[in-house]
Amino acid sequence: MGMRKYNDSMGLRFCVLGSSSSGNAIWVASATTQVLVDAGLSARTIEHRLDALGTSVSLIDAVVLTHEHADHVHALPVLHRRYGVRVYANEGTREALRIDPRFNSLRWVQFITGQGFRIGDLQFWPFSVPHDACDPVGFVVTDGSVDVGIATDLGTPTELVCQRLRPCRALVLEANHDEMLLRNSNRPWSLKQRILSRHGHLSNADAADLIALVAGRHLSDVFLAHLSQECNHPTYAEQAVCELLQERGCSHVRVHLTYPDRPSKVWDSCE
């Protein structure tokens, strides 16, 4: 895949291992710590894609959850059984998963939304996002020198979301759907309403607006995530964001795509 290997850098790095409505997982690493944000792909897929990065699930220090939906937690039971991985979640997410016995034996570590917590030399700052889950969050992750923002499921760009993402050097942000493709799709109207609601998912235009709102000179890279395979197209998402950034005088921001079937490029703070 031509990917940079894990131990080639001492900076903060991340790679979106896969992202779509069928599964999401992001690898975040420093010189001494490796974490997965969500584990919604199959365990085998996560294993293979980490191998391609030159690392392994056995070296993952923890999985940190944004919320309880299946496309963010699917691999947890297998990862726990094979590797005993710790799982960080807030109370709402943990309680929502307890109704499924497959998740009862996980090595849970509970965090509080709005309060930072540390895993190795990585600091995580969870913040609330509007989505139809029990207590969904995004994260700002830092190694002390650079901040990375992650917000993959949210229905509207609240002021809190903007505040948290504004200091970040790089973002992983959803651009879920093209609104016309969604409205003209064969999906049930109730599902369309859910996606379009304030607790649904960001459209390409909404994602572009949010990125333009938080883009200062410090923002270098944005990764567009959670693209719908039925109601979006990578070209539409990329074009919507790039055109608005150009219009707002933020053409220095590089825009990258993420994929359901392969990892994104590796972002490295040292580059």
Domain ranges of the chain: 12-268
Contact (Cβ atoms closer than 8 angstroms) between residue 5 and residue 244: no
pTM over 0.75: yes
**What sign has the CA pseudo-torsion 34, 88, 99, 197?**
negative
- The model's pLDDT over 116-127, given as tens digits with 9 standing for 90+, comes to 999 999 999 999
- Check residue 133 and give its pLDDT: 96
Q: How far apart (Å, rounded) are the C-alpha atoms in residues 218 and 259?
A: 25
- Check residue 10 and give its pLDDT: 75
Residue 54 CA, chain-centre distance (Å), reads 21
State the DSSP H helix or E strand holding residue 137, giving kind and residue range, or none if neither. Answer: strand 137-142
Q: How far apart (Å, rounded) are the C-alpha atoms in residues 103 and 38?
A: 14
> Who contacts 123 (Cβ-Cβ below 8 Å, separation ≥6)?
116, 117, 141, 142, 143, 144
- Check residue 29 and give its pLDDT: 97
- Check residue 271 and give its pLDDT: 87
Contact (Cβ atoms closer than 8 angstroms) between residue 210 and residue 201: no
- The model's pLDDT over 149-160, given as tens digits with 9 standing for 90+, comes to 999 999 999 999
Could you say which of 3.60.15.10, 1.20.58.340, 3.40.50.10490, 2.60.40.10 is the CATH number of the domain covering 12-268?
A: 3.60.15.10
Q: Which residues of the chain have pLDDT under 70?
A: 1-9
- Check residue 1 and give its pLDDT: 34
